[in-house]
Amino acid sequence: MARKVVITGLGATTPIGGDVPTMWKNALKGVSGARTLEDDWVEKYNLPVTFAARVSTPASAVLSRHEAKRMDPSTQFAMVSAREAWADAGIEGLDRERFAVSFATGIGGVWTLLDAWDTLREKGPRRVLPMTVPMLMPNGPAAAVSLDLGARAGAFTPVSACASGTESLHQGIDLIRAGRADVVLAGGAEAAIHPMPLAAFSSMQALSRRNDDPEHASRPYDIDRDGFVMGEGAGALVLEAEEHALARGAKIYGELAGTAVTSDSYHITAPDPEGLGATRALKGALFDARVQADDVVHVNAHATSTPVGDKPEYSALREALGKHVDDVCVSATKSQTGHLLGASGAVEAVMTVLAVYERTAPITINLENQDPDIPLDVVTSERKLPSGDIVALSNSFGFGGHNAVIVIRNV
Amino acid sequence: MASNEEIQAGLAEIVNEETGLAPEAVELDKSFTDDLDIDSISMMTIVVNAEEKFGVRIPDEEVKNLKTVGDAVTYISNAQEG
């Protein structure tokens, strides 16, 4: 029998809240984190997309100036969320050699990389500072968190585009089940609201162009959805072997009951139109958690609000859950937060854990005319989840054909 | 041309910016590594910022000889004259 893995700490910094309580309050109310960008580079480069969802509280409000100076913004966000989760878990006297970190990112230190390139071209190689390397490396967030919290059982960085954050939980459960760690700080961070990624995602036709109305731009499942809204931030969860948590009398939010990761091997960016890879991930995660499709009451969907992405996820849910899909309430929280890329899975895992713990599903905003091809029961106003034993899923999919699903069960 | 006092004050400012250390702590007889706890990465950042501030060049092979704040002040002062 595999060790049970429970969740004992939560942290987040997002466009709808700089900590978990604020984010959750807003997620139940239904707010948009998207705003017009005021930066001079928007006009300078004539960007086709002029808005994004920035974190609502800057990292400088939490980190000291000196700390922040030596960290890429993605690492700063990781640190803010990890410290909140760690304080929430309140673990004392931990064997640090049994404590690991798995902190994901989709892109890594893109601000640092591109700033250094600008410096090189404008001022020459001497001015490219030595901290550039540790700041731009994609394992920067995992390394900084491990250094800060004293984790010595390994600091890992899952990278799978927009599935990265969810893969950190997949890795975390494996580490604990395999007996390689008793506690894992899992999470994801992203800070890519920079003109280059905005230009590149625009070129892919992936971003919404609703420049005149940012707050209504992220509209998963709506017939008029036209792309995702770039977000930023981080989410973090403290995973703990159940016996370890029980022995110290910890507050337990829920069980990470199972996970699965699959790859499409279909196309570098397009999702398999039938959602076959996603279906296998859903079925795999249910099997891993030893639960039946009928046990699922809630799904935090990947649902980015792109015309091509939302539908295959529905196909996959229908295939994996069968007719029961009609009895499952679905939340598309990217309607509020925007798409946090490599952080999205971690932030949505936090929301899914809270949905199960508080038995309330977060809200999907901007759903005015639901796409008739996606007849899901979408949560658009306050919705209580049933009492008794319940299970919720969170899905993440990434460019490259990455599919990751986690299963959360009440305790 | 900056006086030694001005160079010391300028260095203190750079050290404060890089490490958060109080400028008053950056005294002439203090060792960068032993007293101010400045690691090699921070030291290189301080050197590059000092080069820009004082308009001098401090070759990489010289940096290891700059053990104290006073060493750095003397080096920068001589480099400015030269």
Note whether A65 contacts B20, CB cutoff 8 Å. yes
Q: How confident is the model at residue A270 (pLDDT cuts 50, 70, 90)?
A: confident
Which class in CATH covers the domain with range A258-409?
A: alpha beta
The yes-or-no answer on residue A402 being catalytic is no
Residue A1 has pLDDT above 80, yes or no: no
- Alpha helices of A72-156 — where are they, by DSSP H? 73-89, 110-123, 132-136, 140-149
CATH 3.40.47.10 domain range(s) in chain A: 5-247, 258-409
Query: pLDDT by residue (tens digit) across A214-254?
Result: 999 999 999 999 999 999 999 999 999 999 999 999 999 99
Picking from A66, A126, A131, the nearest residue to B41 by CB comes out as A131
Residue A18 has pLDDT above 90, yes or no: yes
**Chain A residues close to B40, C-beta within 8 Å:** 130
Residue A274 has pLDDT above 90, yes or no: no
Residue B73 has pLDDT above 90, yes or no: yes
Interface A:B, Cβ pairs < 8 A = 20
ipTM, two decimals: 0.84
Query: pLDDT by residue (tens digit) across A162-209?
Result: 999 999 999 999 999 999 999 999 999 999 999 999 999 999 999 999
Which residues from B are below 8 Å from A when comparing CB atoms? 18-20, 40-41, 44-45, 48, 51-52
The pLDDT of residue A96: 97
The pLDDT of residue A260: 98
Supply the pTM of this predicted model: 0.96
| Conformational region of residue A115, where left means phi above 0, alpha means psi within -120 to 50, and beta covers everything else | alpha
**Chain B residues close to A131, C-beta within 8 Å:** 41, 45
Q: How far is B23 from chain A (nearest CA, A)?
A: 14
The pLDDT of residue A271: 85
Query: In degrees, to the nearest 5, what angle opens at C-alpha A328 toward C-alphas A326 and A333?
Result: 120
To the nearest whole number, what is the mean pLDDT of chain A? Answer: 97
Would you state the structure tokens that stand for residue A91, as one six-digit string? 């673990």
To the nearest whole number, what is the mean pLDDT of chain B? Answer: 94
Residues in chain A: 411
Query: pLDDT by residue (tens digit) across A277-305?
Result: 999 999 999 999 999 999 999 999 999 99
Q: What is the mean pLDDT of residues A79-102?
A: 97
How does A353-391 read in b/e, with b if 16+ C-beta sit within 10 Å?
Answer: bbbbbebbbbbbbbbeebbeebebebbbeebebeeeebb
The pLDDT of residue A65: 86
Q: Under CATH, what is the fold of the domain A5-247?
A: Peroxisomal Thiolase; Chain A, domain 1 (3.40.47)
In the block, tokens 């704040």 appear at B69
The yes-or-no answer on residue A329 being catalytic is no
Picking from B18, B41, B48, the nearest residue to A126 by CB comes out as B48
Q: How far is A92 from chain B (nearest CA, A)?
A: 29
* A122 contact B CB<8A: no
Would you state the structure tokens that stand for residue A72, as one six-digit string? 């890429």
Which residues, in sequence order, are bridge partners of residue A189? A105, A234
Residue A73 has pLDDT above 70, yes or no: yes
